[in-house]
Amino acid sequence: MFTRFRRKRIHPVLRDLLQETHLSVNDFMYPLFARSGEGIKDEVASMPGVYQMSIDEVVKECDVLKKLGIRAIILFGIPDTKDSVGSDAMCEHGIMAETVRAVKAAHPDMFVVTDLCFCEYTDHGHCGVLDPVLETVDNDITLDNLAKQAIVHAKAGVDMIAPSGMMDGMIQAIRKGLDNAGFENLPVMSYSTKFASAYYGPFRDVAESSPSFGDRRSYQMNPANRTEAIAESVADEQEGADILMVKPALAYMDVIRDVKNNTTLPLAVYNVSGEYSMLKMAAKAGVIDYDRVMMETLLGFKRAGADIIITYHAKEAALLLQKQF
């Protein structure tokens, strides 16, 4: 006799009772992009609904997010001045430190995470100090600067640090720096498995972080490598990360599950700009039901093993989840 799986699908209430994976607004973290000035809210052409904002507008946006039930943000800074080492990122009066202080003053209940990297702050667009001989980022010099940057964010009042540069040993260096500065209770969410992906294209428009030469394949991961992807996250767990991450998410569902199965830490995924923009453009072309595809995509991340979903869809998804109740 064959199995009649459909018996449990016919009645909608029974379908809901037996649903294995559930999506909640508590799963979401929303990215925000801050720059200096006042009253600035400029939409990014390649990312409809995503904006570069002045700090006062970032503070206002947090009111909108909280009304939707979204209580976690991840901040990216766009400095007025860039240089070869990304000095603004290590300055207590830089764009990131100023934004953190303003958000926490206005919204002490908002969980504020900072992206910790140098690509937005350097004039060459790479994620640290350059090695002129190898024409790539000097790993160990950059580790020292990452620790300095982390301490600046910590002093500003951030709730969690999220290093994204894929430097070897970055978690150990940041953890040591934070602990020595008295911030031993500040958690670190590592971009532990981050691929050199073509899906990042629109992000470089909003963050103004395109490399001026070459690419980032000498430090970000080869998209073809699955075993190495697991090893990267395992190493960051051993170095003291509190939360791991896989980025991008959509084309890496197998890696999300692999990392989840091979580590003991909570796992975040970053639903990146290209993934977001593809759905937006497909909706504009009339070829998909945007809401359904968006929610199915987010549910897929959760099913694959994500505990936290960093996504530009968060506000729209939160509205749909509210309508379900």
* 290 in a structural domain: yes
Q: What is the mean pLDDT of residues 229-238?
A: 98
pLDDT per residue over 88-145, tens digit each?
998 999 999 999 999 999 999 999 999 999 888 888 878 888 887 777 889 999 999 9
232 is in an annotated binding site: yes
> Could you give the number of structural domains in the chain?
1
> What is the domain range of residue 48?
21-323
* 256 in a structural domain: yes
Q: Say which residue the tokens 């968060």 belong to.
A: 314
**Mean pLDDT, the chain, integer:** 94
91 is in an annotated binding site: no
* 187 in a structural domain: yes
* 3 in a structural domain: no
Which pair of structure tokens corresponds to residue 217? 């394949």
Residues annotated as part of the active site: 194, 247
20 is in an annotated binding site: no
* 12 in a structural domain: no
* 277 in a structural domain: yes
57 is in an annotated binding site: no
Measured between alpha carbons, how far is 283 from 313 in angstroms, rounded to an integer? 13
* 297 in a structural domain: yes
pTM summary value? 0.94
CATH code of the domain containing 270: 3.20.20.70
Contacts of residue 96, defined as CB under 8 A and 6 or more positions apart, other chains included, come to: 34, 75, 77, 88, 89, 114, 152, 153, 156
pLDDT at 321: 97
* 65 in a structural domain: yes
Statement: residue 152 has pLDDT above 60: yes
pLDDT at 211: 67
Alpha helices, DSSP H, located in the chain: 12-17, 55-67, 95-106, 139-156, 170-180, 201-207, 227-239, 253-262, 273-284, 290-304, 314-323
pLDDT per residue over 166-209, tens digit each?
899 999 999 999 999 999 999 999 999 999 999 998 866 665 66
pLDDT per residue over 105-114, tens digit each?
999 999 999 9
Looking from the CA of 160 toward its CB, the CA atoms found within 13 Å total 19
127 is in an annotated binding site: yes
